[in-house]
Structures are given as structure tokens and as C-alpha cells.
Amino acid sequence: MNKKKYFKNVYVYEFLKHKDNRGFFVELFNQKDLRKKLDINFNCLQTSLAYSRKNVFRGFHFQRIKPIEQIITVVKGKVDYYFFDIRKKSNTFGKYKKICLSNKNKKILYLPKGFAGGYHCLDNENLVLYHHNEFFNKKLDNGFNLFSKNLNLKNSKKIIRSIKDKNLRNFNEIKLNWIF
């Protein structure tokens, strides 16, 4: 397993790919390897798949009170995935990183509790697979606006967003009552 660490406990990793003349096989989730190689005890309770067209932006989302750990990968297409540290007591609070996830690079992102995520779809068809350690709860769902002035993200106004995402508040207006 190749791995790269971002922030505290945020990893991008690749499981071994088994390839031959028929194609390839990759383990996207292996709880034993996560424990052994990354010291992550991840218990998957929900798996979700999102389909998006080119220029769609989904995010920035997080779940308050019952924050979610996630394992994210792209099974078709290519996305720029952004993750923000929203742990108030962290010395990297408010900072973000961006990585490219695609079906070609087969990178897998592990996000611990306390991060908000969002992604910009770069290919015509994109399938993003998520594994969650908590169930999604609509009442606890929260997020902040991609175009928050204090984030200084350089994104095109041509981005396609949901009405919900367009109506999200600015990052500095979000109350983050975490117990981290």
C-alpha cells in the first residue's frame, strides 16, 4: 500500500492493483489493511455512490454532532477533491488541501472526523464512491459555500451546484461545535 499523509490523520493511499490481460482488480476497502498499515479503525456502516456531470461541484459538506469518517474514491472519471480542516482546536483549522482522484490514478482518500469535503468534476461522467462510518442524517447535515470570500478559492462561476449548495452560508458564519 502506497500512502501519503495530509494534515493529522488524513491519508491518500493506493491498494495493490492486480492487473493482467483481462483488466485489473483493486481492493477499495480492506479493514484489516487500514488497521495494520494506517492505524485506522474504520467500521463501514453506509456506502454511497454519486454520479455527476462535468463542472458539477458538490460540497462543502459535513455532518454536525455525529461527524462522519469517510473513505472516498473515483470509480469513473476525474475530480479535484478539496478537504477543509474544521476542527476548531487544530493548528490547521480553516486550511485545506486539494487532490486529484480518478479512475486512472486509483487513489483513495481517508478523511477522519472534523473535515468538510467537496469536489469539482472534471470529466463528462464521474462516479464517486464513499464509505461512511456513520449513517447520513439529514437533520445533522451542514456545509459552507464554495464561494465564501474568506476561502480564496479560485473557481469558475460556470460551476454547476445544487440549490442547497448555492444557499449554504459562508465559512466564517458556520458554528462548529466539535468535541475533538
Tens digits of residue pLDDT in 34-77? 898 888 999 999 999 999 999 999 999 998 788 999 999 999 99
d(CA 103, CA 121): 12
| pTM of this structure | 0.89
Q: Which of 128, 131, 101, 115 is nearest to 14 (CA)?
A: 101
- 61 an active-site residue? yes
Q: Are strands 78-85 and 141-143 parallel, antiparallel or unpaired?
A: unpaired
- 130 an active-site residue? yes
Per-residue pLDDT of 110-143, as tens digits, reads: 999 999 999 999 999 999 999 999 999 989 899 9
Catalytic residue among 82, 130, 131, 132: 130
As a whole number of Å, the end-to-end CA separation of the chain is 28
Catalytic residue among 61, 82, 120, 131: 61
Query: Which sign does the torsion angle of CA 149, 152, 154, 155 carry?
Result: negative
Does residue 180 have a pLDDT over 50? no
**Residue 87 corresponds to which cell in the numbers above?**
476542527
